Chain A
Amino acid sequence: MPPSNVRALRLAPERVPAEGRAAEIVSLADWPSVEQPVVPLVPKSAPSRARRLLSVIGHNPLAVSGGAILLFVALMGLTSPLLYPGDPLAIVAEPFIWPGTDAAHPLGTDSLGRDMLAGIVHGAAVSLQVGVFATFLGLLIGVSVGAVAGYFGGWTDVVLSRVTEVFQTLPNFVMLVVVVAIAQPSIATLSVAIAIVTWPGVARLSRAEFRTLREKDFVLAARSLGFGHVRIIVSEILPSALPPIIVTASVMVASAILMESALSFMGLGDPNVVSWGSMIGAGREYLRTAWYMCALPGFAIMLTVLALNLLGDALNEILNPRRQVRR
């Protein structure tokens, strides 16, 4: 018969832990070594975010090309006044010059004789301005609402969540059309309108983050030190809540650019500037004879948005290794 104490004996604990293998390995390290010094199997100190960013991007050719495209578009937008000084809406040549047939106008001219390349270069500035400004506003509203709702909880949360839900229920693009139709279209109003339809998503995300984080020790510690709510929200919780928000931001810029282009295409954009969407809208009537007028600016939109999405995927990999952004 086995000795009575056998039941008390176990090998290395083999509970299947929620976190999988890592915990198993650590549990084996619980056995100290006599002969050789114990190498503690604590997870290696994580490399700094910047280093990780570089290493992931280095191993991800798609992210690199995304970054390169975006850099190119940004440069194009920033230098547009130098590249094509003067009004891109000015008539400079014969109409309907096909791309590649006239060295003076490499991408041809449109139905009125305006230079296509000038339009695309200036359009880059408009697209990026709207994208960045709308995203900034959307983040500002969304993070504020989400932070307050998640941090305070209770009735504040109930009310704010309800308001968020109302805005999320409105079909984005219909709401966008309504807002732009009411306000006079300009880069500023377009950005505000886009922010109005995009903030609810950010609010939900940051509410969830703040709800989890407010229970953490470092927040409780800050509270016990008598820090004010604003200080705790802004300087204690926000930095930890940022990673998923940053990932969302890159996707928000992409969708803001898409929304702006659709509005401009329908003639609801800023009539005083040239934008990729309005160029497609203008070319639409000549689809049969000069389809390049639609194809080229659309291609520019696609490349820019694709670049942003590629970067978003890479950021997601770096900042939320275990999380999946669902859209």
Chain B
Amino acid sequence: MSEHFILPRGDGPSLLAVDDLRVAFGEKQPVKGISFEINEGETLAIVGESGSGKSLTALSIMGLLPAGGTIAHGSIQFEGREITTLAPREARALRGGSIGMIFQEPMTCLNPVMTIGAQIIEALRQHQSLSRKAARARALELLDLVRIPDPHRRIDDFPYQLSGGMRQRVMIAVAVACSPRLLIADEPTTALDVTIQAQVLDLIDRLRRELSMAVLLITHDLGVVSQWADRVVVMYAGRKVEQARPDAMFGNPLHPYTRGLLNASPRLGDSYNYIDGPLYEIPGSISSLAGDRGCAFAPRCAHVRAGCRDAVPALATLSHGRQVACPVLLSEENRVTAVDL
């Protein structure tokens, strides 16, 4: 793991700043105001379950919200420039140029009737004035970069001729073709075999360093977070409920939801392990599209107080950029000492 710290991580200048982003689908607001920053060269993970709004947040940055979805409020600044109001042409220059994105389903994300080479070349030539020959040469380099064996033979293959892991590598080659400053990876390994997952994440991390780009990693897999993220944002029902460095979050989760995720016992220091008993389950289900009154997690929360259902808890900022949106736990005396871990 020490190789991850060759570059100072997370301390670069701010690359992307999302401020109070709200995404609306008609009356519903699946993303209810989220703010975070990504610094150059760092990996920020957004964690949350389906419906927490994490993927919509990522798609908002790309300007690729599904039909019917709009950015109702807030700003997204990339390299100091507001990108929510860009003209379509400028937005296209950004997509695939300065920001690359890979998706969850490598099996369906590649066009089945185009060779993988053509799909990489297409991305290259959209943003760079390259001759066909030069683009093909660059595509071969990229295939080599993402460790596709025998690129010369593979470049004219169609997606159906590749395995899932190989396809995800091709997707990564497409996304990093124009050396983006930011790579958004939306559940990049969820659809892959466990053995392939680590390989793909290692590849993303290696490319992050070699191409000195930042990575926004959207995931629900806490194992992935612990190993590859510099900072973690936990999302619940369209809001950020906690933000921390992974070691701090795993060592001392503050929000009840984070604790639920981490299978944390109420008392710090108890070494409660899943071998000791059944996995702790967070009761209830996410109700991200429910009303705006009170804490969205309150119905499932073991620490719920009367006030929780009246007002949305504000994010409290602690030291080291840590943030948490739960006044109940913060006010408990025994927590305060542990905050600065």
Contact = CB atoms under 8 A, between A and B. Distances in A.
B261 A9 contact: yes
A2 B191 CA distance: 24
B281 to A, nearest CB: 6
A293 to B, nearest CB: 51
Interface string A83-94: 000000000000
Given A29-B285, A31-B282, 11 more contacts: A1-B250, A2-B246, A9-B222, A9-B279, A10-B222, A11-B261, A12-B49, A16-B191, A28-B285, A31-B284, A34-B284
A154 B226 CA distance: 55
A11 B48 contact: yes
B247 A1 contact: yes
A35 B187 CA distance: 31
B50 A24 contact: yes
Chain B interface extent, by class = 20 to 34
Given A1-B247, A16-B191, A31 B222 contact: no
Interface in A1-44: 1-3, 5-12, 14-16, 24, 27-29, 31-36
Interface string B166-200: 00000000000000000000010011000000000
Given A14-B190, A15-B191, A7 B223 contact: yes
B286 interface: yes
Contacts of B152: none
B300 to A, nearest CB: 7
A29 B50 CA distance: 12
Contacts of B191: 15-16
A2 B283 contact: no
Interface in B281-310: 281-286, 299-300
A15 B300 contact: no
Contact of A14 (B49, B223, B279): B49
B212 interface: no
Contacts of B340: none
A10 B262 contact: no
Interface in A216-240: none
A5 B272 CA distance: 10
Contact of B226 (A2, A33, A36): A2
Contact of B263 (A9, A27, A28, A33): A9
A14 B220 contact: yes
A312 B283 CA distance: 47
Contacts of B273: 3, 5
A33 B283 contact: yes
A210 to B, nearest CB: 30
A14 B50 contact: yes
Contacts of B50: 11-12, 14, 24, 27-28
Contacts of A14: 49-50, 104, 187, 190, 220
B105 interface: yes
A7 B104 CA distance: 19
A16 B189 CA distance: 12
A16 B105 CA distance: 8
Given A14-B220, A28-B286, A35-B284, A5 B263 contact: yes
A156 to B, nearest CB: 33
A188 to B, nearest CB: 50
